[in-house]
């Protein structure tokens, strides 16, 4: 959902020069120690006082909220380069947990906002990050509200492929960052449905599996058709629509 190449033409604010000290938001974190988070441990919990902003260096995190009766919804996945906890709120509204071994740097939240606010060329960068997050959230609302199980799973695979930088044509092998249960909670499905849809895709020879976490996308074009891409997330031009044209 982050397509930096399309957005990088920001109008640079005509303003005072800070002598090019901080080039980007990331450099704010350069002085902070890198921390390691083990898979399954939380960076922060829903309800915690929002003390820091985090820059992800390596690994993958899940951000989720839980209903009173235990149902869980994963609201986003965070990758290297993403900022976590930029919200203006005083408390985190979600829980953030490492999925794989994560490396990150933290920065006090208030000071972060203060620094960004004082640095003209950083302000639009923060706004853009947040707008990207908003766009991702909108894509997700469409997926959850209007896509079928199959479309959700395929959309997810394509999203992972895109984030892996694999715009490449034909057989792309991707590594799924999360397990089936996380996929289910991210896609608004059950673990069994996710598993079944993946099996169906495999039987249809649109994908192949090298273990449960390695997926080869064998026919990108067909997959893109199946995902019912809306314009916001296209990664290569699809042509005509085919109904559910393949075997069950």
Partner DNA sequence: CGGGGACTTGAGTACTATCAAGCGATGTGG
Partner DNA sequence: CCACATCGCTTGATAGTACTCAAGTCCCCG
Sites of contact with DNA (CB under 7 A): 148-150, 179-181, 188-196, 198-199, 209, 211-213
Footprint on residues 21-50 left by a second copy (CB under 8 A): 46-47
**Does position 115 bind a second copy by CB under 8 A?**
no
Euclidean distance between CA atoms 17 and 219, whole angstroms: 49
Contacted by 149, from a second copy, DNA, none: CB < 5 to 8 Å by type: DNA
Q: Which helix (H) or strand (E) holds 65?
A: strand 61-66
Nearer to a second copy, 74 or 172 (CB): 74
Q: Of the candidates 35, 39, 41, 110, which one interacts with a second copy according to CB under 8 A? A: 110
Smallest CA-to-CA distance from 84 within 135, 130, 152 is with: 130
DSSP reduced 3-state for 227:
coil
Q: Of the candidates 20, 31, 40, 145, which one interacts with a second copy according to CB under 8 A? A: 145
Least CB distance from residue 144 to DNA, whole Å? 11
Euclidean distance between CA atoms 195 and 213, whole angstroms: 12
Distance of CA 216 to the CA centre of its chain: 20
Footprint on residues 154-213 left by a second copy (CB under 8 A): 185, 187-188
Cβ atoms 46, 95 nearer than 8 A: yes
Q: Of the candidates 113, 162, 202, 219, which one interacts with a second copy according to CB under 8 A? A: 113
Stretch that binds a second copy, among 32-40, 96-104, 127-135, 207-215 (CB under 8 A): 127-135
Helical H segments across the chain, by residue range: 4-7, 25-28, 109-118, 123-146, 149-163, 180-187, 191-203, 220-226
Cβ atoms 86, 130 nearer than 8 A: yes
Cβ atoms 94, 65 nearer than 8 A: yes
User: Could you tell me the two tokens for 242?
Assistant: 């085919």
Owner of token pair 């902070």: 32
Contacted by 204, from DNA, a second copy, none: CB < 5 to 8 Å by type: none
Q: Of the candidates 216, 230, 235, 246, which one interacts with a second copy according to CB under 8 A? A: 230
Residues engaged in binding a second copy (CB under 8 A): 7, 10-11, 13, 46-47, 65-69, 71-73, 75, 87-89, 93-94, 110, 113-114, 117, 120, 123-124, 126-128, 130-131, 133-135, 137-138, 140-142, 144-147, 185, 187-188, 228-232, 241
């Amino acid at each position: 959902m982050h397509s930096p190449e399309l957005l990088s033409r920001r109008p640079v604010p005509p303003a005072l020069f800070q002598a090019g000290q901080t080039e980007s938001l990331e450099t704010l974190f350069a002085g902070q120690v890198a921390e390691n988070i083990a898979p399954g441990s939380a960076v922060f919990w829903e309800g915690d006082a929002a003390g820091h902003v985090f820059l992800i260096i390596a690994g993958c995190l899940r951000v989720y909220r839980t209903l009173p009766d235990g149902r869980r919804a994963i609201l986003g996945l965070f990758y290297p380069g993403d900022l976590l906890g930029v919200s203006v709120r005083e408390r985190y509204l979600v829980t953030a947990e490492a999925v794989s071994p994560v490396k990150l740097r933290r920065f006090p939240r208030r000071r972060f906002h203060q620094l960004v606010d004082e640095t003209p060329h950083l302000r639009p960068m923060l706004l853009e990050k947040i707008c990207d997050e908003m766009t991702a959230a909108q894509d997700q609302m469409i997926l959850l509200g209007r896509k079928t199980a199959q479309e959700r799973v395929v959309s997810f695979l394509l999203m992972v492929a895109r984030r892996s930088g694999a715009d490449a044509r034909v057989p792309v092998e991707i590594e799924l960052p999360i397990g089936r249960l996380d996929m289910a909670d991210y896609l608004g499905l059950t673990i069994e449905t996710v598993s079944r849809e993946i099996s169906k895709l495999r039987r249809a020879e649109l994908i192949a599996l090298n273990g449960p976490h390695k997926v080869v996308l064998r026919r990108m074009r067909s997959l893109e058709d199946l995902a019912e891409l809306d314009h916001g997330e296209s990664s290569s031009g699809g042509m005509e629509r085919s109904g559910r044209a393949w075997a069950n």
